[in-house]
Amino acid sequence: MSEQKRTREQRRKELKQKKHSKKPVKTWIKRIIVTVLIVGVLGLIGGGSLFAYYASTAPKLDESSLKDPISPKLLDANGDLFATVGSENREYVPYDEIPQQMRDAIIATEDSRFYQHNGIDFLRLGKAVIANVTGGFGAQGASTITQQVIKNSFLKNEKTLKRKAQEAYLALQLERKYDKKEIFEMYFNKVLMSGRIYGFGTASEYFYGKELKDLSLDQFAVLAGMPQSPNNYNPFKNPELAQKRRNVVLHLMNLHGKISDAEMKKAQAVPVESSLLPEDQRIAKKNSKYDAFIDVVLDELEKNGDGDSIADGITIYTTLQPNAQKQVEASLNSNIFPNKDIQAGIAVIDTKTGAIAAVGGGRNYGAIRGYNYAHDMKLRSPGSTIKPLLDYGPAVEFLNWSTGQTIVDDKITYTGSDQVVRNFDGKYKGAMTMREALYNSRNVPAVKTLKEVGTKNAKEFINRFGIDIGNVTESSAIGGTSKSMSPIQMAGAYAAFGNNGVHTEPYSINKIVYRDGKTEKNYRPESVPVMKDSTAYMVTDVLRDVLTKGTATRAAISGLDIAGKSGTSNYDSNQIKQWNLPSSAFPDVWFAGYTTDYSIAIWSGYPDIKTPMTTNEERYLPQHLFKEVMTNISKGKNTGRFKKPNSVVEATIEKGTHPLQLASEFTPDDLKKTELFVKGTEPTSVSNIYEKPVLNAPNNLNVEYDEASSSATLTWDFDKPKDKEVNVKFEVSVSINNGENQVLQTTEQLGLNVQSLIPGSSYVFTVTAVSDDVRSDPASISLTVKPLEEQPIIAPPGETDGNDNPGDGNKNGNENNNGNNNGNGNSNGNNNGNGNNKGNGNGSGNNSGGDQSGTTPDDTTNPDGTTGSDDSSNTNP
């Protein structure tokens, strides 16, 4: 019993201890709840106070601001205003004239509870709060149509608590002052649709050429989907994205009971492009200056998340250079074009900064034109302009190729197929340097180069420029890419070659300043090295040759150091057959060129790829446009030359050696090439292919003397080297009476006629074979000319001889009478006696060896230096 009693007592104690232990836990729970309530109340008070403060600083409602967009200001690179973009040509549509399906599409997409809330949709706000907690502030918006009207009319486009608080407060005020129809009408006519298009009525005319009442369900859905991302969902520029967005809108309309399943599916089946206003009916309207450039600015705002800010009255500081823009537009609208239908897109980039100086969107481009050929065109093949970016640039960058790297231009096929790689002229030219292959734009060497580089390296290299060309294959080496690049992208990429390998993504905005005049947002991208400076300069140096002796000599400008590359795309065999095109037709032509100041890329072709180009006027149009634009925008500038960095060295190599070797002193001149090398990779060994030639001495040397003409004819034979092409000449010299050896003449003939030999003299003739600075052993032969026989001179009675003796036939002295009888009664005599009396009978006197000029043969060398063409020449010793 006692044990049981103790046990009960112990149990009671344990129960008491448990009760005492639970009290502290409950106490803490109560304290926590109270604390949370207090913090919540304080938070509400603080939040309410903060909301009240923000609300008190909110701008006042202004009806004109509610209904009209606030135009942004666009300033050029000099800070001068050149455009304001806003409500020009806006189609204002009253609420009662808005078709019901158009209203339904907007409400279902933008604010399905528009007619139930009082300006703020707290249910939608709760969902957005959860999304923002999990995804970060600003991950999802909860703005109603009313709030969007407020934001676009009075507030900056920023995601801050202050802006949200002011937006909510003003939305409540707006709902109190205006009814739902009025608010919807404000939104409908004020919202940014795309570019400079405000309001659904304006967009209807712009994209479809119709009034709203004439649109179909699928067209209503396209327009209703655009405000979320105006430029991305522009059906002219991005029809695929626009179609996806349209189908989402139709799904939402069906979800909210506005259309049936059948209506939804029927509308979703309609291709977006099928009902758009045709290209040839989109009339260009010159609403402002520099429309093509403005379109690029608007796209850049959209890309940076500021697409809606254009309606916020911002000031946009652009990179526009007015003189360059004017020149581009003047060239595009000049008579330089071969016909009225061909189009062109031009981009002018600052080589050093990447800033877009000018944009040529097309001929007669205007504010209502949808397609900007300089910015939007990314589907047409770049042709050979891709070779520096995909083939040769990577070869220098990754493989340390020199500009003298040997490549063989011969017949090959693409790997794994029987398709032959063809050059534009249908020929193969054998071994050549990388330099020659690039400036002559040979296709086979380009494909071989890409194979050496590897498609992975090639893709990585071109991606450094922010350019996506899709999968890289062997055919990509010559422009066969699934994706392409715009002229703006190409000009930006080429600029990096002219800027020591540093690339800046092309940009048109320096900064934007919000309506308060204080808040700024910087738009300048960072410059990034995309290649070694050695790669940039070596490619540039080769591209210089493109304009001096390559495929783009028409683009050269005297006095400017320019590098560049032409490009032409081709139709494939299926296209030629399907569209019944001539085999010589081509769809696209390009030229990209740059100086140290500007980089310009130009595309030309027809809007419809099925329309071919066939003439040289069409082929060379981009080069002519480049020359005109670059010449004029470079006037008055001290444009510098490209400078060779210390990482590059020059060396004179022997073309065709593999690996490359230095040229020797015996390398033929036509095989000596001065090329560029990455420092440390230049060759050090000298080629021994061409050694010092050994020349055989002339043989069978013979001399024949003609006493009548006092001349000698030399003839000889010569055995040329059989294994080498050697240019040989023969040096003929003479020594008279053991005197000093004198060169008579150097001839390519195997003989020489020597005139005016002196009787009684001894001659040693020497003939030596000569090739450049190589000489053979001499061959010599002697000739002694006998003196003339002495003849007595009988003087008539009363006359004296040369010694003043009577003419009795006795002469004391030596008389030489060598005369020149020209057959015209004139004679030259040299009468030497003891008295040394020289008689000159109507002649020149002292003419030894008498020149029989009346019988000089044709085709010989005469004393006056004229030469003939037979196997022997004629000269005087």
Closest CA to 370 of 239, 250, 219: 239
Number of CB atoms found within 10 A of residue 624's CB? 18
Q: Nearest 10 degrees: CA dihedral of 740, 745, 751, 752?
A: -80
Q: Rounded to the nearest 5°, which phi and psi values hold at 528?
A: -130, 130
Q: Nearest 10 degrees: CA dihedral of 209, 213, 215, 218?
A: 140
DSSP label of 697: P
The answer to whether the beta carbons of residues 132 and 45 sit under 8 Å apart is no
Q: Which residues contact 400 (CB under 8 A, 6 or more apart)?
A: 678, 681
Query: Which residues are catalytic, by number?
Result: 110, 384
Query: Helix, strand, or coil here: 61?
Result: coil
The answer to whether the beta carbons of residues 461 and 572 sit under 8 Å apart is no
Closest CA to 544 of 560, 559, 562, 558: 562
DSSP label of 93: -
Closest CA to 443 of 518, 573, 551: 551
Classify the phi-psi angles of 156: left when phi > 0, otherwise alpha if psi is within -120 to 50, otherwise beta.
beta
Sign of the alpha-carbon dihedral angle for 271, 277, 282, 285: negative
User: In which element (H, E) is residue 360 found?
Assistant: strand 356-360
**How many Å apart are CA 649 and CA 646, to the nearest integer?**
7
Contacts 24+ apart (CB under 8 A), 146-149: 146/114, 146/117, 146/119, 146/120, 146/171, 146/174, 146/175, 146/183, 147/119, 147/120, 147/171, 148/110, 148/187, 148/191, 149/66, 149/174, 149/183, 149/186, 149/187, 149/190
Query: Helix, strand, or coil here: 420?
Result: strand
Q: Which residues contact 715 (CB under 8 A, 6 or more apart)?
A: 700, 701, 702, 703, 704, 750, 751, 871, 872
What is the layout of strands, in order, in the sheet containing 711-717? Answer: 699-706, 711-717, 751-754, 874-875
Strands 563-568 and 588-594 come out as antiparallel
Three-state SS for 571-603 is CCHHHHHHCCCCCCCECEEEEEEECCCEEEEEE
Say if residue 659 is preceded by a cis peptide, omega within 30 of 0. yes
- Residue linked to tokens 């410059």: 527
The answer to whether the beta carbons of residues 730 and 748 sit under 8 Å apart is yes
Strands 315-318 and 73-75 come out as parallel
**How many Å apart are CA 602 and CA 611, to the nearest integer?**
19
DSSP label of 198: E
**How many Å apart are CA 798 and CA 795, to the nearest integer?**
8
Closest CA to 782 of 833, 712, 837: 712
Strands 874-875 and 751-754 come out as parallel
Residues 742, 748, 752: CA angle, nearest 5 degrees: 55
- CA atoms within a 13 Å half-sphere pointing along the CA-CB vector of 735: 11
Closest CA to 382 of 248, 309, 491, 486: 486
- Residue linked to tokens 């300069």: 537
